[in-house]
Chain A
Amino acid sequence: MKSKWLAIALIMVTTVAISFAGGSSEPVATAAKPQAIHVWGWDNSDLSKKTYAAFQAAYPQYYIETTIIQRQDMEQKLQTALASGADVPDVAWIESTYRGSLFAMDIWEDASKPPLNIDLNNVLPYLLPLETTAKGVYVGPEVPSIGGMAYKRALAKQYLGTDDPQQLKAMFPTWEAFVEKGKEVLKKSGGKVYMMSSPWNTFIFKNGQTNAPYVVNDTQLNLKAAATPILQLIYDMKKAGIVDTYEANSPAENTSYTDETHIFYPCANWSVTFTIKRNDPNGSGRWGFIVPPDGGFPMGGTVQGIPKKAKNKIGAVTFLKYRYLSEAGAKMLRDWQGYFAPLKSLYKDDKFYDLADPFFGGQNLQKIFAQDILAKIKDPRRPNKYDQQVASAFNVAIQKINTGADVNVADLVTLMETELMQRNPELKR
């Protein structure tokens, strides 16, 4: 019995030894196997895959493997992977809503330092604070996401007297002028037509256009300075009756894009495809675009971060440099997906982003975004780990305004402060 087990063991050892020996005697003529670059993100469209294929053609030593993870799940997936010791991706998508808390996790490689060496002088300056953690780690590049104001041409013509973007822009030099005009529209339409569909849309504009931090020095709330102007504008619009009561991005609000009772909407470069055209697929020619009062602003955005524990950081940064910080990548982003690139040098040539959009009556949206908005954004609000909670506190306040409750802005700010301090005892007024 004992000799039988010994014989089996000897055969197994011999087999293993032969297989290793056989492997080492093979000639070294075969090409090295391409290395995988693992990307966690939520875009699995054909256009994305086309971009990956182009990168793989340019860099055959790499190939992209994507895992689809929705933006709201990215935090937990990364945290679970880190806590359990499982593999983390080489590139993780970090959407703006969750950017503050993801940056605060302090798990990111500094992509501007060796060996990754992204040259920050090549990146649009306004993006750098949005892509850098509080500890000064540059996380990675992103497609610039900037917002302006879309409008329905027919309603603008009927109630404002013109649908010409230059004339409309001149009509609204400030938000106060916008509110006053809104009152006229309301009166003219017998109370039926609103300037905006949702007070949350007003929030999107004003929040993006202001840059005072909500929390300073890690624990000091700054809501009186930072939140008051935002809530005041929402309150003034509600009081004037020029903003409707839809909830942001609700199915009901999405149907308002095709109605004849709401004129203006926030519109990022990505909203053109994912919001306006999606909600109004037959609306070609019906829309116009202007730079809003107080100017364009950052709106959304997804940073591409390389975790410290990624296995293929060099591959990851090669991919990011190709896709976002090269002219070839910028052309793909522009031509295939209608996106901008963060490469600063491109914006010196005002012909690089130059495309009329028939959906917007032939307006050259790319040029407007590139020259009138991107080039003029300065010093945006930096991501902070309390951003999601601040957003929830804003929702409480905006909801109170939306219901028509008898409130004033100072009380709403106090309510927001109380709420944040209850959930985070380290925060102070």
Chain B
Amino acid sequence: MRNFSSKSATPYLLILPYFLLYFAFSLFPVLFTFVISLTNWDGFSEMKFIGLSNYVRLFTKDPTFYQSLYNTLFVMVFSIPAQIALGLLLAVLLKDFFLRARNSLQLINFLPYITTPVAVGILFQVLFDWKVGTVNAALVGLHILKEPIYWLGHAWSARLVTIILLVWKLFGYKMIMFLAGLSTISEELYDAAKIDGANWWQSFYRITLPMLQPIMTFVLITSIINGLRLFDEPQLLFMSESQPIGGPDHAVETVVMNFYYAAFRNFNFGYGSAIAYGLFIVIFFFSFLSMRMMNKGGESEK
């Protein structure tokens, strides 16, 4: 039998703090949330065990869950490709055409990402205000519109403004990711392509894009996961006293917003926890699907 000496215990002791913190602040809350989802609990009185009733209500009796899921996916489907396309385009342009001003342009384009969501929400409320917003003033002034649009008052325009906000806020982060990826591509490949007579577009399509596939996979999967967890921006954009939850007709009420209002506004922690687990199932499914698709794409190229 091996003696348990202090030397063999040391590595375990060194990694113990991480695991303690992980158990306390990650694993335990996740497991306890599941326990709460099986109860009827308002957060401070006694928990009442009700089994799977919250899940039955969530999946069979609550249209707001599916509505919020639809809203979330709708915003994601339009905002993520735009963020990725814009981020990639800017990364490539900065690398190929704006070498001298690259650092300052990088910073300027990254600023929206680090701007606090509260400020962004107020900014977009003012920009897209029906009566005095800058956007309406510009569009009417340029005769693109005859009448100003009530951007924050219709379901379709509320979604459009939210998508624009997300693209504006997040493309800078994508750009940074792609810049990092571009820096790993050897210049010799581009030189060889030039010698073979390839133009810029051909180099981009046949060298840059395939070489960026690992980064693209990472960006796409993290975008999907973060997209499904969308909360801050639509919440702050439609937080005024005259707005319903999630904006006009609840058009941008996301799943996390639905969970937040159920748990922290209506003090129904049991049902809110069930919504959180419902979202977990959806995120798991989409992550699995994206990884399978991206890996399949990689395998077929081999």
Contact = CB atoms under 8 A, between A and B. Distances in A.
Interface residues of B, number: 33
B150 interface: yes
Contact of A395 (B61, B132, B154, B243): B243
Interface in B90-143: 125-126, 129-133
Contacts of B57: 425
Nearest to B264: A76
Interface in A86-141: 101, 105, 107
Contacts of B131: 244-246, 252
B242 A423 contact: no
Give chain B's interface secondary structure class. loop
A83 B46 CA distance: 10
B266 A422 contact: no
A221 B152 CA distance: 29
A77 B266 CA distance: 14
Contact of A249 (B42, B242, B264): B242
A393 B64 CA distance: 14
A402 B249 CA distance: 13
Would you call the interface of chain A mostly helix, strand, loop, or mixed? helix
A342 to B, nearest CB: 26
B235 to A, nearest CB: 12
B248 to A, nearest CB: 5
B242 A422 contact: no
Contacts of A250: 125, 129, 240, 242
B44 interface: yes
A200 B242 contact: yes
Contact of A75 (B63, B249, B265): B265
A61 interface: no
Contact of B244 (A82, A392, A422): A392
B44 A107 contact: yes
Nearest to A309: B44
A396 interface: yes
Interface in A300-349: none
Chain A CB within 10 Å — which of B44, B243, B245, B250 has the most?
A: B44
A395 B125 CA distance: 17
A364 interface: no
Interface string B224-267: 00000000000000001111110011100000000000101111
B240 to A, nearest CB: 6
Given A83-B44, A105-B267, A395-B242, A252 B129 contact: yes
Contact of B43 (A83, A252, A398, A422): A83
17 contacts: A76-B264, A79-B264, A82-B43, A82-B44, A105-B42, A107-B44, A200-B241, A249-B241, A250-B129, A252-B130, A396-B248, A399-B244, A399-B248, A403-B153, A403-B154, A422-B64, A425-B62
